[in-house]
A and B are shown apart, each in its own frame.
Chain A
């Protein structure tokens, strides 16, 4: 089965439902381990729902299908979000999710490309964009219509390698390349320690088409992905302004959002609150 080939009209309500499912999966994972990069995962959930259930062309029964669109998660510690998406897409079994971060689990806290559906090793940050450029060049050279989508974090914009890659992407006119830049405002030492603004202007100056949107607004995400399909000789950067912990009040309010750890009892409360808020919306 080839999904979304080519992407049709988006049903926003359905996509939002997928995003809720991703959040539910992530809470299951974090509860199993008592901890995880759940703040980041919840923040990027809407984007992954839009990608995996609307924009990307792929075959869940064959993750090696040569014509698949690539999704590269550069920020390896966002793995929790990718495992949720791959499970929701039927690539990984849902009942494996509770092993997140456990010994010998395929669902590592930081991605390795030995797990099906993972296109690069992400933990050494700043690798994603350059490898995406290489994949986009390779696919174009081989006359493939497959596109390359790469997520990177605001922290990763501090690595020089990101800008080396950004320069080469516009130089090579890679209009099949889309960077999804998650500006969640945090990094390891807390709120972003180095001012990255104006982010959109930086990408524009490097020769990219840029959309800057609320990364937790499904309409906006789908709209920006639509614009990115234009074949005008320029790569596209979508600047996602996201809220860490989005959709789970207690995690949204947490200060320790880079790495979130609470005991199992508290997870049960967090999950109950989440289900209640989801139910209230329906």
Chain B
């Protein structure tokens, strides 16, 4: 019998880089850098400082950092209070706890008053083997329902750094998914991030992939594989889930033969649903194939095993596109 596969543990790199160079803790570094010129930025966590990459900020600005203990409702409430005094709090925890546990506080204490609270959510989608308690597979769907909340699902280290600066400048509440640890560099250095803007990363006429978060890396890899087989695959990266770039998505989809969505999230309520709504509303009559997680709780196991089992790998995208031809 071969050795049992390992469950990747808390504190490990779970972004699972596809052989690309990576940057360590891009969020924490970017926040620490911002902190030098922005004395209004404060950091908070709920006993997950080490595990949400905010330690560079904590070490640089210990006076502006508050660990409230394992208390996610209080984390968000305290952040709201700090925002009311004119500060810009960045509060970190895992996505499951920021959404399921603290939802009312995000909705009422923060969003209802359009407070300047930035929630940074670790372990998005299926990036941990700890089972349903830790896998934030429906966070985009939940948070989308909160009026005025900006939602970002960045795809790599470059975008995390750029988005951290952008959301610090943005006036209003933000929920940003976090890739932690050694995060791959996927985008070119010339890439510019703008809240609410989708970006075409690759052109092609046969299939258009609309992707977000870590699935963009896989979409690009799938496009490379398919190019060798003579299939021209376009990739539209949509880092902002809300406000959604309706125009870019509609015109991108109008220009390709088949549309496929790719998200590290359940296929209901997130990117796939948004694309379907957008195309219907815009009168673009295209069939949409969704790559994402099934509508069920996922068991414990190692991350690569589970991602393959539940179909959010490069191979899964290639297979779905193969089936379209």
Contacts of A105 in B (CB 8 A): 4, 300
A121 and B69 contact, Cβ closer than 8 Å, known pairs A189-B48, A261-B9: no
A109 in contact with B9 (CB, 8 Å): yes
B5 in contact with A102 (CB, 8 Å): yes
Contacts of B50 in A (CB 8 A): 188-190
Report if A194 contacts B (CB, 8 A): yes
Contacts of A261 in B (CB 8 A): 9
Which of A31-39, A231-239, A241-249, A269-277 has 4 or more CB atoms under 8 Å from chain B? A31-39
Task: Render A70-98 as a binary contact track against B, CB cut-off 8 A, 1 for contact.
Answer: 00000010000000000000000000001
A34 in contact with B49 (CB, 8 Å): no
Report if A156 contacts B (CB, 8 A): yes
Cα distance A76–B74 in the bound complex, in angstroms:
22
Contacts of A158 in B (CB 8 A): 47, 68-71
From A33, A122, A192, give the contact of B6 (CB < 8 A): A33
Main secondary structure of the interface of B (DSSP, over half): loop
Report if A197 contacts B (CB, 8 A): no
From B4, B5, B49, B131, give the contact of A123 (CB < 8 A): B131
B302 in contact with A103 (CB, 8 Å): yes
From A99, A123, A188, A190, give the contact of B70 (CB < 8 A): A188
Interface size class on chain A is 35 or more
Query: In the complex, which residues 22-69 of chain B have their Cβ closer than 8 Å to any Cβ of chain A?
Result: 45, 47-51, 67-69
Contacts of B96 in A (CB 8 A): 124
A155 in contact with B70 (CB, 8 Å): yes
Q: Which residue of A lies closest to B306 (CB)?
A: A103
A109 in contact with B6 (CB, 8 Å): no
Contacts of A101 in B (CB 8 A): 4, 6-7, 300
Contacts of A102 in B (CB 8 A): 4-7, 301
Report if A259 contacts B (CB, 8 A): yes
Q: How far is the CB of B161 from chain A (nearest CB, A)?
A: 24
Cα distance A103–B300 in the bound complex, in angstroms:
7
Cα distance A194–B70 in the bound complex, in angstroms:
9
Report if B127 contacts A (CB, 8 A): no
B70 in contact with A160 (CB, 8 Å): no
Task: Render A150-184 as a binary contact track against B, CB cut-off 8 A, 1 for contact.
Answer: 00000110111000000000000000000000000
Q: Which residue of A lies closest to B48 (CB)?
A: A188
Q: How far is the CB of A263 from chain B (nearest CB, A)?
A: 12
Q: How far is the CB of B5 from chain A (nearest CB, A)?
A: 4
A121 in contact with B133 (CB, 8 Å): yes
Report if B134 contacts A (CB, 8 A): yes
B133 in contact with A76 (CB, 8 Å): yes
Q: Which residue of B lies closest to A156 (CB)?
A: B70
B70 in contact with A125 (CB, 8 Å): yes
From B48, B49, B101, B131, give the contact of A108 (CB < 8 A): B131
A110 and B70 contact, Cβ closer than 8 Å, known pairs A103-B301, A105-B4, A188-B47: no
Q: Which residue of A lies closest to B68 (CB)?
A: A194
B74 in contact with A104 (CB, 8 Å): no
B4 in contact with A32 (CB, 8 Å): yes
B5 in contact with A187 (CB, 8 Å): no
A155 in contact with B48 (CB, 8 Å): no
A193 and B47 contact, Cβ closer than 8 Å, known pairs A103-B301, A158-B70: yes
Q: How far is the CB of B48 from chain A (nearest CB, A)?
A: 6
Contacts of B51 in A (CB 8 A): 188
Q: Which has the most chain A C-beta neighbours within 10 Å: B73, B74, B133?
A: B133
Q: How far is the CB of B276 from chain A (nearest CB, A)?
A: 31
Contacts of A189 in B (CB 8 A): 45, 47-50, 67
Contacts of B70 in A (CB 8 A): 125-126, 155-156, 158-159, 187-188
Q: How far is the CB of B58 from chain A (nearest CB, A)?
A: 9
Contacts of B11 in A (CB 8 A): 259
The 4 closest A-B pairs by CB, nearest first: A102-B4, A123-B133, A194-B69, A158-B69
Q: List 18 A-B contacts (CB under 8 A).
A: A98-B4, A103-B7, A110-B131, A110-B300, A121-B133, A124-B97, A156-B70, A158-B47, A158-B68, A158-B69, A158-B71, A159-B72, A187-B47, A188-B10, A188-B47, A188-B70, A193-B47, A259-B11
Contacts A103-B4, A156-B70 known; list 19 others, CB within 8 Å. Answer: A33-B6, A33-B7, A35-B6, A35-B9, A101-B6, A102-B5, A102-B7, A103-B302, A104-B301, A108-B299, A110-B300, A122-B133, A123-B132, A155-B69, A159-B71, A187-B70, A188-B10, A189-B67, A259-B9
